[in-house]
Copies of this chain bind each other. A is one copy, B any other.
Amino acid sequence: MQVVVPYAARDPKSRLADVLDADERRTFARAMRADVLDAVRAAGGAPTLLTTAPVASGAADGLGGVPVVVDDRPLTDAVNDALPDEPGETVAVVMADLALATPESLSRLFETPGEVAVAPGRGGGTNALVVRHLDFRVDYHGASYRDHRRIAAEAGLSVGVVDSMRLATDVDEPADLAEVLVHGEGRACDWLADAGFEVTVREGRVGVARSDG
């Protein structure tokens, strides 16, 4: 399956600025991206990186052999240009910050029936999609999960939904780092641990703290 992996190359993960500086956010975003690319390949997908600006290419970033398309337009426009343009074509879209994605969770998505299959994200978003019909178009503005269901319904397309915590977890905010530390299995989790982050529990709530080391 063709799998487009959108990546925001400029100032990635800005909502982590309280806990990571700009260089660290870039490194962490690359680690998550490499984990996603690895998981896509292990699930049998053929990834293409769709990036807003040129990226350094190389096997160390999981980019060895991965086609890179640079498109600096907004996400919605860039993804819509990558969707199927011939009958019978299938394209999946998997965000580059799904640090908990595993081959198993992506396989479940890829195998979810429907002319459109959706992995909802926390907070009403759409973290991954499989598009099997020409008439579907994305709109990532706003609460995109409901919008994508509406767009599919208006086009008369069947929709499948994959119920996955791993695919629902995009990493945007400091609280999300705890999810990576608890459930992660790849480079992003290792990088956070090496950077001194660990899970904390305070008043029954889980967060992260960073050691001075």
Q: Quick one: copies of this chain in the complex?
A: 2
Q: Is the interface on chain A under 10, 10 to 19, 20 to 34, or 35 or more residues?
A: 20 to 34
Are A183 and B142 in contact, with the CB atoms below 8 A? no
Cβ contacts A159-197/B at 8 Å (1 or 0 each): 000011111100000010011001100000000000000
Give the chain B neighbours of A81 by CB distance below 8 A. Answer: none
CB of A41 closer than 8 Å to a CB of B: no
CA–CA, A167 and B166, complex, Å: 12
Chain B nearest CB: distance from A131 CB in Å?
20
Contact string, A135-165, partner B, CB cutoff 8 A, digits 1/0? Answer: 0000001110110000000000000000111
| A122 CB within 8 Å of chain B | yes
What residues of chain B lie closer than 8 Å to A204, measured between beta carbons? 141-142
Closest residue on chain B to residue A172 by CB atoms: B205
Chain B residues with CB below 8 A from A6, complex form: none
Assembly CA distance A163 to B142 (angstroms): 26
Interface centre among A105, A123, A166, A167, by most chain B C-beta atoms within 10 angstroms, is A123
Shortest Cβ distance from A199 into B: residue? B143
- Report A10-60 residues with CB < 8 Å from chain B CB: none
User: In the complex, which residues of chain B have a beta carbon less than 8 angstroms from the beta carbon of A165?
Assistant: 120, 122, 163-165, 167-168
